[in-house]
Structure 1
Amino acid sequence: MSKQLHLISDGNFSNHHLQIIKRIYKSIDYLHIREKNKTAKDMLEIIRALKNIGFPLAKIIVNDRIDIAVMKQCAGVQLAYHSPPVSLVKGNFPGLKVGKSVHSLREAEQAQQEGADYLLYGHVYSSMSKPNQHPRGLVELQEITSTLSVPVYAIGGMTPERTKEVIAAGSAGIAVMSGIWQADDPIQMAKAYHHVLNTWEGG
């Protein structure tokens, strides 16, 4: 069974990002719109622009903004520690896929109990986006994936080679930000991740 690639926007969404997505969207399973400094109007414009290049709304996950995800009929929302509870979102919008970002086994267990459809766990390796935070490593990732039944996606410092390690540790796939946006060749890098995720044959 192939594993999933979640691409997360880097907070500076522009036409440059749009042009990259246009060339790689068949390689990614979901695009997370994570634009903390954008207004609701900006977010709606991003989704409109994505739709105009043929990117399916069924592959868009909006960070934190449940209202926008519902209005634009996107796939779902990604919640953080400051977001509304998973159970409240699922109870009011059962059609939304609801993910939760977690950083420990305890947080992961709580999110699953509240009804999260999947979890993003990290950061697993040293990450360019969080240079001052100690990576959490593979041991706890494996503990979480072996304890929980919901899919867990590893995030933080992902490379195609490390992707093999996190899948071996039970991850259902990976989430990537700088690994694609800051790559010398984002299109080739997206294809490299996609290849590893779709040719995995480990135990």
Structure 2
Amino acid sequence: MKGIHLITNGKITKADLEQLGSFHHYFDYIHVREKTKSAAELLEVLDIIWETGIPLSKIIVNDRVDLAVMRDCAGVQLAYHSPPVNLVRERFPDIKIGKSVHSAAEARKAEADGADFVLYGHIYHSNSKQGVNPRGLKNLQDVAQTTSIPVIGVGGIKPDQVKEVLDTGANGVAMISSVWEAAEPIQVAKAYYDRFNHWKEEQHEKTV
């Protein structure tokens, strides 16, 4: 589950999803995070995603394990209010499970309970976390060093900050508003893609 994760902004529209169909290839995974939508509305979102040509094999559904399983999505992202990781792992051994964490201790527990990856943040000041101090790169590094499963940094990450996030030991970056609120989302998505792959190339060169 390493790589670039795009998270929906809670107010996704059919037009947004259709536009995403033209640049989804810049992301490894796309999280459907729509807290106010009903199960029926979320199923409609997943159907639009599929009709748009975005593989459901790269879709992660937040909270709703049932919908992720029914639509054969890549996985589910669990929060503090979601079913526990160990129960989901026990009942659905083949689905990929992500867990949102806010400390190294929570990350260790998520791994012990069977999570495949953790989402940690917020790293920088974020539009979705107004008035809440960011946790920063040092705490991200602590989380990355305390677990062997992939750690994805999220929260206020701009393209030019991708390198410093990954240099902490994190395995990926996630973003929300920087893409959805951009005047040119395709160009922003490509910027994340280019920065991430440039970092990967640098790491490869260091090992050869």
C-alpha distance in structure 2 between counterparts of 1:41 and 1:19, whole Å: 19
SS in 2 for 1:106: helix
Please name the residue that 2:53 is paired with: 54
1:17-53 deviation line (CA, Å, top 9, x unaligned): 1132111111111110000000110000011111111
Please name the residue that 1:99 is paired with: 98
Paired AA for residue 79 in structure 2? A
C-alpha distance in structure 1 between counterparts of 2:146 and 2:107, whole Å: 10
Q: Identical aligned pairs, as a percentage?
A: 50
Offset at 1:160? 0.7
C-alpha distance in structure 2 between counterparts of 1:189 and 1:147, whole Å: 31
C-alpha distance in structure 1 between counterparts of 2:19 and 2:94, whole Å: 29
C-alpha distance in structure 2 between counterparts of 1:24 and 1:188, whole Å: 9
Structure 2 regions of 5+ residues with no counterpart? Answer: none
1:74-131 deviation line (CA, Å, top 9, x unaligned): 1110000111110100110011100000001111111111110000000010001111
Which structure 1 residue ranges, 4+ long, deviate > 6 Å from structure 2? none
2:39 maps to 1:31: no
Structure 1 regions of 5+ residues with no counterpart? Answer: none
C-alpha distance in structure 1 between counterparts of 2:82 and 2:12, whole Å: 22
Aligned length: 201
List aligned pairs for 1:1-203, cutoff 5 A: 4-200=3-199, 201-202=202-203
Offset at 1:4? 0.7
SS in 2 for 1:31: strand
Higher relative contact order (CA 8 A, sep 6+): 1
C-alpha distance in structure 2 between counterparts of 1:16 and 1:128, whole Å: 22
What is the TM-score when the length of structure 2 is the normalising length?
A: 0.94
SS in 2 for 1:101: strand
Check the 8 A contact 1:20/1:186 in 2, yes or no: no
C-alpha distance in structure 1 between counterparts of 2:11 and 2:143, whole Å: 32
CA RMSD of aligned residues (A): 1.0
C-alpha distance in structure 1 between counterparts of 2:32 and 2:144, whole Å: 25
What is the TM-score when the length of structure 1 is the normalising length?
A: 0.96
C-alpha distance in structure 2 between counterparts of 1:198 and 1:92, whole Å: 36
Moved more, 72-81 or 13-22: 13-22
Offset at 1:183? 1.1
Paired AA for residue 182 in structure 1? E
